[in-house]
Structure 1
């Protein structure tokens, strides 16, 4: 976990350095608008949106895995109960066979 944080921090510093070194004004055309903004701002916004998208996709994957884990836990409990029930039946059969 800490390695991921350190790598993320290092990547953020690299992006910030790149953005500051490329701070010229650029024209952005989007749909029907044209805006002059700093290239650094475009880089920061792009990086932030990328991070948000990655975080969202990670959250979706995490929730999906938790759902699978919970389903598997329920299945394990069911199988344990079945094993216990079958062991009891087996013991009863052995006792009945011994009595005969």
Structure 2
């Protein structure tokens, strides 16, 4: 930013020196009128119009970049939201798998208890028959 300002200031000094060295009178012929003015004024006005055009083009570029930045910000927010929902889904799935494993473990324990109960009652029946 400062480099651009220094370059602009340097250019303005060069234009001013050039205009003062060429201060003679010139005729400008517009379509509807003729005007006689100092050449320095023509140089200053031309430089000023050039600066205005460059500033306008810079402003257009800045507006485009600002719009693109807002669009990218919205995209980032959307992607962060998607990421968060996917992380939540992963967490839920992990919890679900853990709960499912726990339920399977409980079912296995119950089956083992039932089988032990059957084995014990069979053993008791065999013991009673033998006595």
The TM-score bracket by the shorter chain reads over 0.9
Deviation at 1:99, TM superposition (A): 2.0
The answer to whether residue 55 in structure 2 is matched with residue 55 in structure 1 is: yes
| Separation (CA, whole Å) in 1 of partners of 2:76 and 2:12 | 43
> Which residue does 2:84 correspond to in 1?
84
DSSP-derived class of the 2:36 partner: strand
| Separation (CA, whole Å) in 2 of partners of 1:76 and 1:4 | 32
| Separation (CA, whole Å) in 2 of partners of 1:94 and 1:31 | 81
The Cα offsets for residues 40-78 of structure 1, whole Å up to 9 and x where unpaired, read as: 110000000000111111111111111110111011011
Greater strand proportion: 1
> Which residue does 1:22 correspond to in 2?
22
User: How many residue pairs get matched?
Assistant: 100
State TM-score, norm by structure 2. 0.73
Matches within 5 A, 1:3-42: 3-42=3-42
Structure 1 unmatched runs, 5+: none
| Separation (CA, whole Å) in 2 of partners of 1:64 and 1:31 | 37
| Separation (CA, whole Å) in 1 of partners of 2:91 and 2:71 | 30
State TM-score, norm by structure 1. 0.95
Greater helix proportion: 2
Structure 2 unmatched runs, 5+: 101-131
Larger Rg: 2
DSSP-derived class of the 2:37 partner: strand
| Separation (CA, whole Å) in 2 of partners of 1:42 and 1:31 | 17
RMSD over aligned CA atoms reads: 0.9
